[in-house]
Structure 1
Amino acid sequence: MKEPDFPNREWQYRPSFYDLSNPSDLLKLNMLRMDGHIDQEYDQIQSQLVDLYLCRFPSDGELSGFSDFLHSVLKGIPIEEFGLWVYYPWRRSLVHILSEEEFIEVRTNRNQLKIRSEEQQLLRGKTIGIIGLSVGAAIAQTIAMERTCGRLKLADFDTLDLSNMNRLKSGVMDLGMPKVVLAAREIAQIDPYLEVEIFPLGVGKDNYTDFFGGGSPLDLLVEVCDGLQVKIESRMMARDLGVPVIMETNDRGMLDIERFDLEPGRPIFHGLLEGTDIGDPEKIDPAKRLEILMKIVDPRKISPRMQESLPMLGSRLKSWPQLASEVMLGAALCCWTARKLLLGEALASGRQYFDLHELLTGKPY
């Protein structure tokens, strides 16, 4: 499975960095300007430096010491050479931002002390893989905003359809774009220093090794895709490698945790498929697929509206019902769980329901 190249602006998702104190970078950036590749330039470095100062000296609301601080930080260089300039080719935009360490320091300042500095540093060394970029896009963006890791691997073969836009944060100008590209771009615009690798053909036997390993082996897998084959195979791979797995179904806030890092012999899906002849995951017929999926989700515990929808899949309904509110709840649950798990908290394998209807009304759905 060869990943496609993205040579033109339409498919690019990685920004470029320019250090104006480097003559070579300055020349390259001036060439971009002269060739008409930049439509907008955003230079708010002064306000970022003020923010950096207040993060370090929060009691000085009057900024009485800022002038001395600025002098000590700039060390005699022009302010336009401080930090880095980031070029986003898909937006034809150039942005002046703090250097990586200062940028992360300021951007994560409001995480404290819900996330301590030493915990943030530990998370920075972690890699999370996400399979499925419908629900997974919201999870990836939440993880990026909170900086729950330093590297993300995103996998999905699908492109954006209009019917996806009831839950995906995208615009009509993005229709037809790969979901992984859209998610990676959103993350780059939040934090260009966060490393993102995309797998726009999805994952399968040809690239599981690269997805789980490569230069950044996974510390955690978030599996939120529709494909039964990938659900099964990715868990088997995760179990072989000792990688924990999180799954969220955005129905009744169902959250799964499988601690293959602590329980290498644990059956996948909590043993719900024990006694089921799966055979070759690539050759499961549609009727068998639905039977297996029902064992995984347990039809007695899904919401009444979802139960009502299931018989209509493929006839009156295009696919599984999903709502933006439930997807966002799932993103929060997955991000929180990922952070706690990666920080070594004692989260056990199992399935939990965070059913807002039941929690707020006190009644079953």
Structure 2
Amino acid sequence: MNFIKDLDLTSQIDALILKPAEFSDFELLQKIKGLPFISVIDEIESQVSELVKMKNPTKYFSPSELLKEAEMFLSKFDKEKYGVWVYYPWKNSLVHLLPEEDFIAVRTVRNKYKITEEEQMELARKKIGIIGLSVGQSVAISLAIERSFGELRIADFDTLELGNMNRLRSSVTNIGIEKTKLVKREIAEIDPFLKVTIFEVGLTDENIDSFFVEGGKLDLLIEECDNIKVKIQSRLKARSLEIPVIMDTSDRGLLDIERFDLERNRPLFHGFLSKFGSEDELLGKLDTIKYEVLMAILDYEKISKRGKDSLQELGKTITSWPQLGSSVIMGGAMCAHFARKILTNKKVNSGRSYVDLDQYFNSNNES
């Protein structure tokens, strides 16, 4: 279909939001609806019912009363032109949703009062960058579910592989697709009004400035990549721009926070790299001391026993440091939690914390 090609929907990256009250969008809506392979999902009455309940919190509605209220509400409009329709080309699906403001209000209604209205509005103005989409995927989805950003910038050069799927929630139908594209799609299916900008080649010398400042400076960086050079470069950049950094390592529930926004001269990684000389010299000699730098970043003595056992097997029986889905999901949630606290100006200090479930419950006396 030429109209799909003209709209560049064949790339299957972006959801298309149609406002059928506008003539051109209504025409396009009819064309998409007419395609034989399109699945049309119209549950607008259910969403209006939720809207009615939200606006009348003290009133009890029986199911029949609520249905009547929703029908009365929709009778004021041309139902097909009410709200928005979202076309998801990768799913060949067309979904009818509430208008943006009402959609956001209903979708976040159960955030109250865990997140205040003022905090939710503040978060909607924030820009967050995520580098690396293993833990980073869980962080991104947690942030999107809570609606803790206005724009999310995600950087990863990799595609989904079968071996990723012990810790990345996805489908075998997505193997071979860029991780950035998959995360952007998943967020669009949760909330098509959230802005997600992708850097599908990862963070590079060429795009690092765009990632950090184009369209407005980042308010927070969440760094979850495997590349030691990028770990250091991204922190140097964040510090120069006074941007706080969060990292989770998926071992013993380690969460690392560097408040470069509050401490302009704070050493990278809390000074763990100072034994290698000045930060200016570090990148130049990184190739020869990469493993030692990694162990310093991870604080080797505090790595779990099984984590240390895994490190001993690198290049022998395994090719990369194992991560478990449970640890990645927990790390994603912790990063999202502290991201929200930092972005809403709650007191969060620099430092490292461990949420070690094995140690806490003394499971098999194993850390």
Kept in 2: contact 1:53–1:66 (CA 8 A): no
- Match for 2:338: what amino acid? T
**Matched residue, 1:327:** 328
The offset of 1:150, in angstroms, is 1.6
**Distance in structure 1 (CA, Å) of the matches to 2:67 and 2:254:** 49
**Matched residue, 2:268:** 268
**Matched residue, 2:120:** 120
Kept in 1: contact 2:220–2:243 (CA 8 A): yes
Q: Deviations over 1:307-362 (max 9, x none)?
A: 01112212311211100000011011101100001010110000000001112228
**Distance in structure 1 (CA, Å) of the matches to 2:67 and 2:112:** 23
Give the length in aligned residue pairs: 356
Alignment of 1:252 with 2:252, yes or no, is: yes
**Matched residue, 2:353:** 352
**Secondary structure, in 3 states, of the residue corresponding to 1:284?**
helix
**Matched residue, 2:307:** 306
Residues 282 and 91 of structure 1: is their aligned pair in 2 closer, same or farther, counting only changes over 3 Å? farther
**Matched residue, 2:38:** 39
**Secondary structure, in 3 states, of the residue corresponding to 1:154?**
strand
Alignment of 1:193 with 2:193, yes or no, is: yes
**Matched residue, 2:283:** 281
Kept in 2: contact 1:245–1:258 (CA 8 A): yes
Alignment of 1:10-29 (within 5 A): 11-29=11-29
| Percentage identity across paired residues of the two chains | 45
Q: Deviations over 1:271-323 (max 9, x none)?
A: 100131463637632x5111000011111000000101112212311211100
**Distance in structure 2 (CA, Å) of the matches to 1:62 and 1:182:** 39
**Distance in structure 1 (CA, Å) of the matches to 2:113 and 2:134:** 31
Residues 310 and 83 of structure 1: is their aligned pair in 2 closer, same or farther, counting only changes over 3 Å? same
**Secondary structure, in 3 states, of the residue corresponding to 2:311?**
helix
Structure 2 unmatched runs, 5+: 1-6
The offset of 1:21, in angstroms, is 1.4
**Distance in structure 2 (CA, Å) of the matches to 1:32 and 1:95:** 11
Residues 317 and 8 of structure 1: is their aligned pair in 2 closer, same or farther, counting only changes over 3 Å? farther
- Match for 1:55: what amino acid? M
**Distance in structure 2 (CA, Å) of the matches to 1:124 and 1:70:** 32
**Matched residue, 1:169:** 169
**Matched residue, 2:214:** 214
TM-score (norm 1): 0.93
**Distance in structure 1 (CA, Å) of the matches to 2:325 and 2:135:** 9
**Matched residue, 1:3:** none
**Secondary structure, in 3 states, of the residue corresponding to 2:255?**
strand
**Distance in structure 2 (CA, Å) of the matches to 1:154 and 1:332:** 17
**Distance in structure 2 (CA, Å) of the matches to 1:148 and 1:258:** 19
RMSD: 2.0
- Match for 1:159: what amino acid? T
Moved over 6 A (4+): none
- Match for 1:115: what amino acid? I
**Distance in structure 2 (CA, Å) of the matches to 1:138 and 1:111:** 19
Alignment of 1:111 with 2:111, yes or no, is: yes
**Distance in structure 2 (CA, Å) of the matches to 1:12 and 1:137:** 19
The offset of 1:77, in angstroms, is 2.0
**Matched residue, 2:59:** 60
**Secondary structure, in 3 states, of the residue corresponding to 1:291?**
helix
